[in-house]
Amino acid sequence: MQDFTSQANKNGITLLDNGRCQFCGADYQRGVFECMDNYNFGLQHLDFNNPEHLLSRFLSVDAHALQHPEIHGRWSNHFHLTRMNLILEKNQTWDYKKSPMLSDYLNTYKLNKSNEFLIIPKPFDRGKITAKNLNKATTANECVELIKKWAEEVYHSWSASHSIVSKIASGFLENIYN
């Protein structure tokens, strides 16, 4: 996996190192660099041995990635939005075993869909909650609830691509359960 600065360069994006994050709009001093540095701080209340907390971890990764698609690979959007669909819409529990399975499924899927792109919402229109808001949580329950709201906001902001990822998610489920 490339680091986010290399991926931004590959995507022709100039990263700003001052002010708000240029993608999610979080109020930082060093822009996207501080946003990336601080992402994990808000997760300190979670116990990843707890299945509900682990699910929140996956949703937080997806929400953050989809608020910053310009610094990830194009197929990353498919992965994160499909996983959100599986969790939020298809009520799937998630664990570390399923992520590589989804990745493998997408690798096969994209062979026939090499020209498929998801419609990326404009910066600052990808949900109002950001990773910075997680720092306000004082308990694990607050953190879990905030992550769920964050994930739902971000997922909703990508609604133009829901029909695509819903089909991918259904195909994935048929593939792993057959």
DSSP secondary structure letter of residue 70: G
Classify residue 35 by its DSSP letter. H
Q: Could you report the per-residue pLDDT of 82-128, keeping only the tens digit for each?
A: 999 999 999 999 999 999 999 999 999 999 999 999 999 999 999 99
| Burial environment of residue 29 by CB neighbours within 10 A (0 to 12, 13 to 18, 19 or more) | exposed
> For position 1, what pLDDT does the model report?
45
**pTM recorded for the entire structure:** 0.94
Distances (CA, A) of 40 to 43, 60, 92, 94: 5, 9, 24, 19
Q: Which pLDDT score is estimated for 13?
A: 93
The answer, yes or no, to whether residue 59 has pLDDT greater than 50, is yes
Q: What percent of the chain has pLDDT over 70?
A: 98
> 176 or 66: whose pLDDT is higher?
66
Which amino acid, residue 112?
N
At 2 the pLDDT is 55
> pLDDT grade, residue 40 (50/70/90)?
confident
Give 119: exposed, middle or buried? Use CB within 10 Å, 0-12, 13-18, 19+. Answer: exposed
- Whether 157 and 125 have beta carbons less than 8 Å apart is answered as yes
- Rounded to a whole number of angstroms, the distance between the first and last alpha carbons of the chain is 31
The total of structural domains in the chain comes to 1
Mean local confidence (pLDDT), 30-55:
89
Q: Residue 57's pLDDT is what?
A: 94
- What domain range is 20 assigned to? 4-177
Please state, as a whole number, how many other Cβ atoms lie within 10 Å of the Cβ of residue 161.
Answer: 20
pLDDT confidence of residue 68: 97
The partner residues of 30 in beta bridges, in order of sequence, read 19
- Asked if pLDDT for residue 171 goes beyond 80, the answer is yes
What is the chain's mean pLDDT, rounded? 94
For residues 139 and 53, is the Cβ–Cβ distance under 8 A?
A: no
Q: Mind giving me the DSSP string for 32-75? A: HHHHHHHGGGGGTT--TTSHHHHHHHHHHHHHHHHH-GGGS-HH
